[in-house]
Chain A
Amino acid sequence: MVDKDVVVDFLNSKSGSKTKFYFNDFTALFPNKGPREVKKILTALVNEEVLEFWSSGSTTMYGLKGAGKQSHAEGES
């Protein structure tokens, strides 16, 4: 499977329960790749507008573009 599809399929498979993921969740999908290589795959997907960043201000997560809620109240996940 193409690397980008691995990412997108993973996000689609989780879409029922979770829409935003830590960078580490993606490195786990590619046990043979270092973090820098995984970052390149994610960056390409962001540039293609398939993924987008979500940020609380202190932490950043990745999700499919348009999926899930925008903002959170304190303590809400």
Chain B
Amino acid sequence: MTKHATPLLDQLESGPWPSFVSDIKQEAEARAKNPKGLDYQIPADCPDDLLGVLELSYAEKETHWKHGGIVGVFGYGGGVIGRYCDQPEKFPGVAHFHTMRVAQPAGKYYNTKFLRDLCDIWDLRGSGITNMHGSTGDIVLLGTQTPQLEEIFYELTHNMNVDLGGSGSNLRTPEACLGQSRCEYACYNAQDLCYQLTQDYQDELHRPAFPYKFKFKFDACPNGCVCAMARSDFAVVGTWKDDIKIDQEKVKAYAGGVLKPNAGAHSGRDWGKFDLQKEVVERCPSRCMKWDGSKLSIVTAGCVRCMHCINTMPQALRIGDERGASILVGAKAPVVDGSQMGSLLVPFVKVEPPYDEVKEVIEKIWDWWMEEGKNRERVGETMKRLSFQKLLEVTDIPASACHVKEPRSNPYIFFKEDEVPGGWSHDLAAYRNRHQR
């Protein structure tokens, strides 16, 4: 028996998809039964009240959440997001309902003990409701009250060796694909880079002093399993410079139907015979491949490392050996300005410990953005406002053809005299002698 009638929410359980309403009801029921006999530190019926306040919002089409607050743990400016209900008498269980962000381990590897311990803390001191993982990538613990925050923080850091994540105007929890731990496409060690930068930039993570949020994400190859190019202000995407390695015998095995394309991923349905010419060569976005029936060739200079051919024939084609990453800057969701994808800033950088080459770019961007960025302006917006050329200047990166997205719509790049060998001089008086005004 639920505490509040929720006819509108109940409808959401009728569709084909798993429903968060069912999940919250399940938690409400479990807390009511309290099989472990826990001494709940926040109201046991907070999941019921969460459903209640949401039902009210659905009926009235108005939110009943207030945001913000001086909640947090001592010395940290992020990691806790204060939320208060504006109908606390009706829904006392969610009078405070603060979110805590917990840093996910690089590549999101857990053992079951970690997950159990986390749930034990959260059952006792929070709502029991989690979001694994939030859109930010964090472990999201949904709903607790102010006096619990320091307790939870202590237990997370001391007993579980895990830290709070980022929120507010600071560096957000960095996120990496599982990279070299499992994936043969990885061009650099994304997990290590993620971990190292998390350690090196603790101050930026926990003490907000940026104009707005700043996100790093690390994909070890252009497949982009954490979507760094779309989801982060600073995306490090694995790439390589030399030839894609081709095993011609295996190519023939794919062509002859011996090997299944895409490692058999599309075998749920009969798509007909695999056609190498149509499905690989003609799908290459830069048309740099050729298949003569027995030999596959690739013009490396034309390859844009889209991964399509490698994904389709993973046993025949492999990433090159001269590996590193490209850095793209400025992706964001719409707030002040519309959404945008990252723009290529560094075409190629070696990604090797202690990662000084990557850090140098990061710090130059921060120095510039902290000086020039307006309040609540993402670095991608600062870049648009002050020009991409300015970003090249402050990061000491020479303009190159890779920076031109498409001719004519890209902002002009003007050369300065000291950038041109020999420079130039202009004798205005002599000019006026030859040309009338």
Contact = CB atoms under 8 A, between A and B. Distances in A.
A32 interface: no
Place the interface of chain A in its size category.
20 to 34
B75 A47 contact: yes
A53 B66 contact: no
Nearest to A46: B75
Contacts of A52: 70
Contacts, number: 99
B82 A55 contact: yes
B207 A57 contact: no
Place the interface of chain B in its size category.
35 or more
Contact of B81 (A23, A34, A55, A63): A55
Contact of B375 (A22, A39, A63, A70): A22
B167 A58 contact: yes
Contacts of A70: 68-71, 82, 84
Given A47-B75, A55-B77, A55-B78, A60 B69 contact: no
A70 B70 CA distance: 6
A53 B68 contact: no
A35 B209 contact: yes
Dominant SS at the A interface?
A: mixed
Most chain A CB atoms below 10 A, which of B71, B81, B209: B209
Contacts of B133: none
Interface in B168-207: 168-170, 203, 207
Interface stretch (B149-157, B210-218, B417-425): B210-218
Nearest to A57: B81
Interface of A: 22-24, 27, 34-36, 38-39, 42-43, 46-47, 52-60, 63, 70-74
The 5 closest A-B pairs by CB, nearest first: A60-B168, A60-B208, A57-B81, A53-B77, A35-B370
